[in-house]
A and B are shown apart, each in its own frame.
Chain A
Amino acid sequence: MIEIRELTVQFGAVRSLNEVTFEFPMGTCGLIGPNGAGKTTFFNALSGFVKPKTGSVRVFGTELVGMRAYRRARWGVRRTFQTEQAIQELSVFDNVRMVHEQSASGGKGRIAAIGRAIEFVGLASVANKPVGTLSAGERRLVELARAVVGSPKLVLLDEPAAGLPDEETRELSGLIRRIPEEHGALTILVDHDMDLVSSCCSTTAVLDFGRLVAVGPTSEVLRDQRVIRAYLGDEEVAS
C-alpha cells in the first residue's frame, strides 16, 4: 500500500499540493481532479522530480521522500508521462531493456523479463522494430511495457489513454487492470476519462486546488457532491 501523509509541494507562493493525506490499498487506484488540481505535481513528488516542503510518502513501508529520482526508479517506482517518451530510434525491445537494465541484474532472467513485458502489452511481433515506425497506440503500449518490466512496486500512469480512440482505450484499460495481479505493482492512474477510471480503479482520490476533496471506492467518489462541484463548479451544480 501507499501512505501519503501531509504532503505539501510549494512553488513560490503557490501551494500545488496542500497537506494531502490519504492511503491507497494494493490494486489499481485512480487520481482525478480538474486541470491544475495537482495530479501531475503529485506524480512528480512521488517520482522525485519535485521536493516536497513537508510530508512523507511511504510505499510498502519504504519512505521515498529524500530518495533521488533515478534511485526511486531503480527501487521500483515507474511512471509514464502525458507526452510520449518512448525512444523513437530504438526498437521496442531496446526501449524496454533500457529501463530494465538500470535496475536489475543481467543474465537470462533479464531477457525473460523483457520478453514478458513485451508479450504483456501484445507487441511481440514488432519487438525488433524501431518505435518510430509504430502507430500512436503501439507507442503508448511500449511505454506501458517499460513501466511494468522487471519488478515494479509502484506504477504511475499519467493519462495513458490520451488521444487514443475508444476501442484502444477499452483494451488499454484491460491491461491496466491486470498490472497489480500479474506484475505485483500498486498502480495509480491519472486520467480525465471517467469511464476508464471507473473500469480500472477500485479506489479513487480526488484533488482540487492542491487539496484532497474525497477518497474512497470509485463508484461512491464519483457520486460525491463535492467531487461533482469540483468538476462542474458551484453554479452549474445549483442550476
Chain B
Amino acid sequence: MSVKTAGTRTAGATLQAIVPPRLWRDRSLLIGAIVVVVVFVAGPLGMNSYWLQASTVAIVYALIAGGAGLLVGRVGLYSLCQIALTAAGSWMALRLGFGTSLPFPVIILLSGAFSAVLGIIIGLPSLWVSGLALALLTLMGASAITLVLTVIHFPNGGDGILGYSETGQGAPALARPLIGETTDGYFRYVLVVAAIVFLIVWLHLKSRPGRSWAAIRQSPASAQAAGVNITLYRVWAFLLASFIAGVAGGLLAATGGIYITQFPVQDSIILLAAVLMAGAYSLWGAVLAALLMKFIGAAFSIWNVPPGLLLMLFGAGILQSLLQSPTGIFGQLSTDLPKLWRRIRRGHRPAEEGRA
C-alpha cells in the first residue's frame, strides 16, 4: 500500500516535521507585501488623473470582488447583492460625513458595520437554501436596497435623517482624509486600506474560519459531522463579505459624486461573472476580476465601445473557465507559470522530447 510505505518511511518523523510553517513565513504573504509596496511607490507615477481615478476605483472594486470571491469560492454561497451593499455603505458614509465630524477611518468602519447588518439580513436565507435559490433571493435583496436608495437619494448635505435636499448641490463627494486629499494621496490611502482588508481576509482563510468554510463548501453534512457549526460560519462569511462591501462603499464615496446609477443591480451579476472568470478561489483572482471589470470598462468608454460588449466578453470568459479552468484565469496562471518557469530553467524543448 503506497500510503503504508509513506508511513514506514517516516516512522521516525518528528512532530516538528509535521507541523506546517508559521503563517508569517507563508510565501503568498511576502509576495502580497512586495506588490503593495511597489504599487504604493510606483503606482501613481506616469498615470494621468483619469487612469489614477480608474485605478483607485479598481482597487475599491478589488475589495468588493474579494468579498464576493470569499462567499462563492470559499463557502460556496452565491450572493448577488455585493454591489447593492456597497451602495448602502456609500450612503452611510455620506450621511455620517455630512452629518457628523467623525474622522474618515471611523466613517469607513461604521459604513462597513451598516452594510454588515444589511448583509446578514439578506444572507439569512443561506441557512436554509443555497445555489440558484440563494442567488435569486440575494438579487431580490439587492433590488430592494437599490429601490430604497433611489427613493431616498444619496445624502448631499441636507437636513433630516436622510440628509438630502432637493435644492442641494448635486452629489458632493465625501471629504477625504488629510493624508489622501490629492488624487495620488487618495490612491495610496485606498491601497493601504485594501491591503489591510485583504490581510484580514487572508488571516481568516488561513485559520479556523477558513478551514471551516472549506469544510462547508466541500459538504455541509460532512462539515457538521466534523463539528462545524454551519449556521455560525455561514453568517460569519456573509458578515465579513458585507462589511468589506460597506468599507468599499465608504471609500468609493470619497472618489467623486455618488449616484444610484453607479450601482445597477446587474453589476452584481457582472461582478460574480468577473470573479468566476478571474478565479474565485484566490484573493489575487479578486484583484484580477476588479482590474478586468474596471480597466476594460474604462478603456471601452475611451474607445466608445458599447458597454454591452463587456458582458459578452465576460460570458465568453466564464465559458472558457467552465470548460478549461474551473479555478479561473488566476488558478490557471498559478499552475501554468511555475511549469513554464521550470521548463525555461531546464532549457526543456518539448519537440526534442517528442522525438526522443
Contacts and interface: CB of A to CB of B under 8 A. Distances in A.
Given A125-B13, A127-B17, A127-B18, A102 B6 contact: no
A135 B2 CA distance: 8
Given A93-B20, A102-B228, 9 more contacts: A70-B229, A85-B218, A97-B211, A98-B211, A112-B15, A122-B7, A123-B7, A124-B17, A138-B6
Nearest to B217: A87
Contacts of A47: 224-225
Interface stretch (A5-13, A53-61, A73-81): A73-81
Interface in A21-80: 47-49, 69-71, 73-74, 77-79
Contact of A103 (B9, B214, B227): B227
Contacts of A167: 1
Contacts of A81: 219, 221-222, 225
Nearest to B7: A122
B226 A98 contact: yes
B7 A121 contact: yes
B36 interface: no
Contacts of B224: 47-49, 69-70, 73
A112 B221 CA distance: 27
Contacts of A93: 18-20
A89 B7 contact: no
Contact of B4 (A70, A101, A171): A171
A123 B20 contact: no
B214 A89 contact: yes
Contacts of B230: 70
B215 interface: yes
Q: Chain B at the A interface: mostly helix, strand, loop or mixed? A: helix
Interface string A116-131: 0011011111111000
Nearest to A73: B227
B323 interface: no
Contacts of A121: 3, 7
B281 interface: yes
A176 to B, nearest CB: 14
Interface in B263-308: 281
A90 interface: yes
Contacts of A111: 15, 19
A89 B4 CA distance: 22
A91 interface: yes
Contacts of A79: 225
A77 B113 CA distance: 37
Q: Chain A at the B interface: mostly helix, strand, loop or mixed? A: helix
B10 interface: yes
B5 to A, nearest CB: 8
A50 to B, nearest CB: 11
A73 B218 CA distance: 17
A74 to B, nearest CB: 4
Q: Which 8 A/B pairs are nearest by Cβ-Cβ distance?
A: A122-B7, A102-B227, A73-B227, A125-B10, A98-B211, A85-B222, A124-B13, A69-B224
Nearest to A167: B1
Nearest to B13: A124
Contact of A123 (B6, B19, B221): B6
Interface string A97-119: 11101110000000110110011
B212 interface: yes
Contacts of A118: 18
Contacts of B169: none
A48 B8 CA distance: 37
Contact of A137 (B1, B9, B226): B1
A98 B15 contact: no
Contact of A90 (B7, B214, B228): B214
Contacts of A85: 218-219, 222, 225
A196 interface: no
A153 interface: no
Nearest to A79: B225
B208 interface: yes
Contact of A102 (B2, B10, B214, B226): B226
23 contacts: A49-B224, A49-B225, A70-B227, A70-B229, A73-B228, A81-B219, A81-B225, A85-B219, A90-B214, A102-B226, A102-B228, A112-B15, A122-B6, A122-B8, A122-B10, A123-B6, A125-B6, A125-B10, A127-B17, A137-B3, A168-B4, A171-B1, A171-B4
B2 A138 contact: yes
Contacts of A78: 225-226
A207 interface: no
A206 interface: no
Interface string B21-58: 00000000000000000000000000000000000000
